[in-house]
Every structure is written in C-alpha cells, then in structure tokens.
C-alpha cells in the first residue's frame, strides 16, 4: 500500500461509520463518507480532517446503483486509487422500534431495508470497489457483520443479512485469489454508539462501559489494512475484539473490549473449520 491511503466508508454520517472514518483520519487516510444525510456527512468529513486526514462527504442513496457508481467514479477520478472499502451502510425499517416484534407481525417490506441496504448495497459497493482494486493489485473490502451470524440477534432478517455478508466475503475471496485484493467480514461486539450509551449501564447483559468504541473498530480496520498477513485473512470472519486484543488496541480509556464469542457458540463461520 502506498503512503497515500484512500478509503470509502459507507453509512459514515454517525455511529460506527463516523467513528471508523474519524479513526482512519487520525492515521492520515483520505476518507470519503457516504449516506443520505448531507449535514451528518459534513460533520464526519470535518472530524476526519481535524484528526489529521482528509475528509470528503458525498450524499448517496445506496438503494440507487447509479449513485453508488458515481461515488466510485469520483474517487477514481480524484485520487486514482482506492485502498479500503468499509461497507457499513444500514437502514432501519420504518417503525422498527427496538426489534421487539416477531417476523409475522412486521411488514414484508422490512426486507427492502434490512436486505436491500444491509446486504445488497454491500454487494454493489464491492462490485464497484473491485473494478478499481483488482487492476491496481491491492485493496481491502471490509463488511460490517455481527455475531447475529452465529445466534439469534434482533430479528430474522437481521440475522439473514449478516450471515449472507459472511458467506459473500468467503466466496468473493475465491474469485479474488491472486488479485492482491482481500475481502473480510467483521464481527463487532456491542458498540458504544450514542443510542446504546443512552440505554444505561448494560444491554442484554453486556456492560456498555466495556463495549467497543466506534473509533476502536476504526483502529482495528486500519491495523488490518496494514497487516503483513492481510491476504491470509481473505474470506475470513474477523472478530474485532479479538483482533484488537491480539494487536494491542484499546478503547480511549485503555480498556480492551471483551469478545462475545463464548455467548454465541464459537469461532469463524466462514470459511468453515479454518482459523488464521
């Protein structure tokens, strides 16, 4: 990877996306952020630049493939390269309050958000990223997944989308072999987003104070992008808390977030029976 590093973080207006983008900025990355809310994106871009990187905001509806293609065309035109894609775009279905209702009581249209954005938009972005990364012979595509692949978490459609992201990375790795491009799926634990921190001291039995900061996830992704063993991770599921622990990364208060692996039945789902 060249000294000049270029990343795209989708869904970068707040939460995990904003934290990841800001952390990359602190490491000197040029970071493009996309989403539907221009004001939030502008705030993230400012945070990236203030941290020491170069932030660029691009309003984009990830339901619209032409808008996604325009994002990548602009990056290629302005930077001539793309080293990292962080697929983080996600859309909450209308009226989806706390994932409390069973699937038969929810509108079938929930599919359009949780699969249309939570899965399809990730695939579309990977397609566009690969068109840049494969010719340049390098790059990392990191898809934000979760332990919802291992056990029930939030809803049926949520679990479906996250499991599919893991399988997508595993199968993309087969076709990316020998190109220099790596695809991974990241299992995040509980994250200290503003919404989660407003819930009190714990969530579903997990301590919020011990949870992963959004910026911590950005540190993990930055470290992974520079890892000499990066290509060995191609197609693998990476548990952010465990990778961070193994590479000496912590939250801003010095805590190392705990892995949720014991609560969800064990190791990487894809590829089966393999560890890095």
Containing 6, the helix (H) or strand (E) segment is strand 6-10
Helix ranges (H only) for the chain are 15-26, 38-51, 65-79, 110-114, 121-136, 156-176, 194-197, 214-225, 240-246
| Active-site choice (96, 158, 216, 233) | 158
Q: Is 216 a catalytic residue?
A: no
Those residues with Cβ within 8 angstroms of residue 79's Cβ, 6 or more apart along the chain or in another chain: 4, 6, 30
The Cα diameter of the chain in Å comes to 52
- Which token pair is 126? 């990977």
* Start-to-end Cα distance in the chain: 21
CA atoms of 115 and 124, how far apart (whole Å): 12
Q: Find the radius of gyration of the CA atoms of the chain.
A: 17
Question: What are the C-alpha distances in Å from 253 to residues 187, 226, 271?
Answer: 22, 24, 34
CA atoms of 111 and 23, how far apart (whole Å): 32
Those residues with Cβ within 8 angstroms of residue 257's Cβ, 6 or more apart along the chain or in another chain: 189, 210, 211, 212, 213, 216, 240, 241, 244, 251
Residues designated catalytic? 158
């Amino acid at each position: 990877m060249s000294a000049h590093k270029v990343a795209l973080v989708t869904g970068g207006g707040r939460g995990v996306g904003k934290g990841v983008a800001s952390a990359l900025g602190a490491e000197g990355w040029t970071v493009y952020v996309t989403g539907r809310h221009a004001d939030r994106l502008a705030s993230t871009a400012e945070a990236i630049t203030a941290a020491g990187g170069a932030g660029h905001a691009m309003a984009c509806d990830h339901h619209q493939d032409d808008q996604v293609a325009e994002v990548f065309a602009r990056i290629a035109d302005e930077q001539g390269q793309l080293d990292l894609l962080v697929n983080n775009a996600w859309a909450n279905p209308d009226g989806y309050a706390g994932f409390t209702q069973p699937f038969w009581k929810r509108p079938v249209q929930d599919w359009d958000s949780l699969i249309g954005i939570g899965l399809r938009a990730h695939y579309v972005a990977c397609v566009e990223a690969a068109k840049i990364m494969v010719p340049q012979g390098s790059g990392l595509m990191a898809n934000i997944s979760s332990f919802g692949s291992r056990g029930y978490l939030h809803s049926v459609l949520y679990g479906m989308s996250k499991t599919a992201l893991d399988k997508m990375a595993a199968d993309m790795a087969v076709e990316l072999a020998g190109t220099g491009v790596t695809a991974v799926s990241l299992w995040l634990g509980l994250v200290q987003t503003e919404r989660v921190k407003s819930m009190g001291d714990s969530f579903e039995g997990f301590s919020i104070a011990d949870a992963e900061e959004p910026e911590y996830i950005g540190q993990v992704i930055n470290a992974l992008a520079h890892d000499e063993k990066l290509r060995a991770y191609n197609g693998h599921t990476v548990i952010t808390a465990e990778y961070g622990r193994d590479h000496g990364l912590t939250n801003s208060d010095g805590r190392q977030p705990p892995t949720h692996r014991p609560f969800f039945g064990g190791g990487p789902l894809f590829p089966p029976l393999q560890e890095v």
